[in-house]
Amino acid sequence: AQKITQTQPGMFVQEKEAVTLDCTYDTSDPSYGLFWYKQPSSGEMIFLIYQGSYDQQNATEGRYSLNFQKARKSANLVISASQLGDSAMYFCAMREGENAGNMLTFGGGTRLMVKP
């Protein structure tokens, strides 16, 4: 079974509008971390935001926020006020256990395209 599922292969958003990228996960480990990474065409994976399984509040980092719904096992990324530079692939990933170096399991990604 897929551990990380991203159901939106591609999405368009108008510049300056907000967009939500979906991610669902599957794990039986009570301790886990959820991550979002951005991958521009250059290839580098850029860390955006992290949510721990025990965190009480949804994570926020600037224009990025993570809508964490533990019971539904979803961790959607919300980007507010989209910019042209936000056009890229976005990957949701999960780490099981508490060790920061534990393997990350990635979803298939969502390609976001921001329209001017």
Partner 1 sequence: DAGVTQSPTHLIKTRGQQVTLRCSPKSGHDTVSWYQQALGQGPQFIFQYYEEEERQRGNFPDRFSGHQFPNYSSELNVNALLLGDSALYLCASSWTGRAQFFGPGTRLTVL
**Would you tell me which residues interact with partner 1 (CB under 8 A)?**
4, 33, 35, 37, 42-47, 50, 52, 91, 93, 100-109
Q: What is the number of other CB atoms lying within 10 angstroms of the CB of residue 22?
A: 17
Nearer of residues 25 and 107 to partner 1, judged by Cβ = 107
Q: Which of 81, 80, 14, 77 is nearest to 47 (CA)?
A: 77
| Residue 4 near residue 103, CB atoms below 8 Å | no
Q: What is the number of other CB atoms lying within 10 angstroms of the CB of residue 85?
A: 9
Nearer of residues 53 and 82 to partner 1, judged by Cβ = 53
Nearer of residues 82 and 109 to partner 1, judged by Cβ = 109
Query: Measured from the CB of residue 3, what is the shortest distance to partner 1 in angstroms?
Result: 11
